């Protein structure tokens, strides 16, 4: 639990690293600026957090007791850091080429750098250290192990995990922070100093992001064999994704959730094969859930009915739309199921 709490705090820090301070100096970083300070990778996501918090999706989350409670608890746990959700502006995540784990995040918003560091230094939950790298201060925050006089096996395991749980971050300027592993934060500094290529130089990822410039969430992923290896089943018609080269798309939340994703294959024939299999799986799911006569499954079936899968040349196009009412039904169904 201790590891989970610490990890959650810094994930939220990566998503919400701001305080109540307004009127910070300097020009606010735009998404393009954030991309220009992150190293190249295999995947990227750009999140307009202001659009999300002002959306029907956010309103639906806030209306659900359990989800709202979880969100409030997470915010409460990091309140001692001075973090304020509504001040987050833009978040950019770059994932390493080898996998889609441990991204490097660049976040801009209004925060007080001195206050944030002071809160971390006096926190009993975090040990903060710093070192210089090419003129930048690279901070390392590590969870402080729980003290337990009985030294139970569970507490020893938790303490061992806590000691390995470390997050690094550095400030680019008064409104921008980079968070990730020590190696990835240093890589970002290399980009800032011109010693390393930024993710903007990756034409595949940049072109993918450019397809939906105004969406609340944009993403692009270069597909590698290691990602598709092992995605197969003898019982289900799982598509052969080995031909995929790129996945890109967007999620908009203006009046609900609108998904638009493209799976780019190496040929039109491969794309058609993937689409046929995906449509087969979609039909199976609709039929199975529809036959259960379970009221809790009705919202899921309605959501699946809104999904469309087609092809265009080498591309598999997946679109789906969830209205605000349908979102409320889905959340309500999930909440009833958990009771």
| Residues 231-248 pLDDT 10s | 776 677 789 899 999 999
Instruction: Kindly tell me if the per-residue pLDDT of 27 is higher than 50.
Output: no
Instruction: Tell me: do 136 and 254 sit in the same domain.
Output: no
Instruction: Specify if 334 maps to a domain.
Output: yes
Helices (H) and strands (E) in the chain, counts: 13, 12
Identify the sign of the CA torsion 191, 248, 210, 61. negative
59: helix, strand or coil: helix
- Asked whether residue 175 falls in the same domain as residue 229, the answer is no
Please indicate, yes or no, whether residues 35 and 137 belong to a single structural domain of this protein.
yes
Residues 240 and 226: beta-carbon distance below 8 Å = no
Burial category of 134 from C-beta neighbours within 10 Å (exposed 0-12, middle 13-18, buried 19 and up) = exposed
Res. 39 pLDDT band, cuts 50 70 90: very high
In this prediction the pTM is 0.81
- Please indicate, yes or no, whether residues 239 and 268 belong to a single structural domain of this protein: yes
Give me the mean pLDDT over the 157-182 stretch. 78
Residue 74 sits in which domain range? 1-202
Task: Give the three-state DSSP class for 81.
Answer: helix
pLDDT higher at 7 or 130: 130
Number of domains present in the structure of the chain? 2
CA–CA separation, 268 and 271 (whole Å): 5
One domain, residues 240 and 187:
no
- Name the least confident of 158-172, 184-198, 260-274: 158-172
Domain assignment of residue 62, yes or no: yes
Question: Going along the chain, which residue ranges are E strands?
Answer: 43-48, 88-95, 104-109, 126-133, 136-143, 166-173, 176-180, 217-222, 246-252, 256-264, 308-312, 315-323
Q: Are residues 233 and 276 in the same domain?
A: yes
Task: Tell me the residue length of the chain.
Answer: 339
From 167, 202, 237, the end of a domain falls on 202
């Amino acid at each position: 639990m201790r590891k989970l709490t610490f990890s959650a705090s810094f994930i939220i820090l990566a998503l919400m690293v701001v305080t109540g301070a307004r009127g910070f100096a300097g020009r606010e970083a735009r998404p393009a600026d954030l991309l220009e300070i992150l190293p190249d990778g295999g995947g990227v996501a750009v999140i307009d957090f202001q659009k999300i918090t002002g959306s029907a999706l956010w309103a639906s989350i806030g209306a659900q007791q359990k989800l709202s409670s979880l969100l409030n608890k997470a915010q409460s746990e990091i309140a001692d850091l001075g973090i304020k959700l509504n001040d987050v502006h833009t978040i950019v995540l770059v994932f390493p080429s080898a996998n889609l784990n441990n991204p490097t995040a660049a976040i801009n918003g209004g925060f007080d750098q001195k206050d944030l560091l002071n809160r971390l230094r006096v926190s009993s939950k975090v040990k903060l250290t710093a070192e210089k790298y090419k003129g930048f201060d690279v901070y390392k925050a590590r969870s402080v192990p729980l003290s337990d006089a009985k030294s139970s096996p569970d507490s020893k395991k938790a303490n061992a995990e806590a000691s390995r749980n470390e997050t690094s971050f550095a400030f680019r300027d008064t409104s921008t922070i980079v968070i990730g592993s020590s190696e990835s934060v240093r890589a970002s500094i290399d980009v800032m100093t011109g010693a390393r290529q930024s993710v903007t130089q990756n034409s595949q990822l940049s072109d993918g992001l450019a397809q939906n410039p105004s969406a609340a969430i944009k993403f692009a992923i270069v597909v590698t064999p290691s990602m598709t290896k092992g995605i197969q089943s003898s019982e289900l018609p799982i598509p052969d994704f080995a031909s995929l080269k790129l996945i890109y798309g967007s999620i908009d939340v203006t009046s609900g959730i609108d998904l638009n994703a493209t799976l780019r294959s190496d040929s039109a024939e491969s794309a058609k094969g993937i689409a046929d299999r995906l449509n087969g799986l979609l039909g199976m799911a609709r039929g199975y859930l529809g036959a259960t006569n379970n009221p809790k499954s009705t919202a899921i079936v309605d959501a699946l009915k809104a999904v469309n899968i087609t092809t265009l040349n080498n591309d598999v196009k997946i679109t789906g739309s969830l209205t605000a009412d349908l979102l409320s039904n889905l959340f309500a169904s999930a909440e009833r199921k958990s009771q």
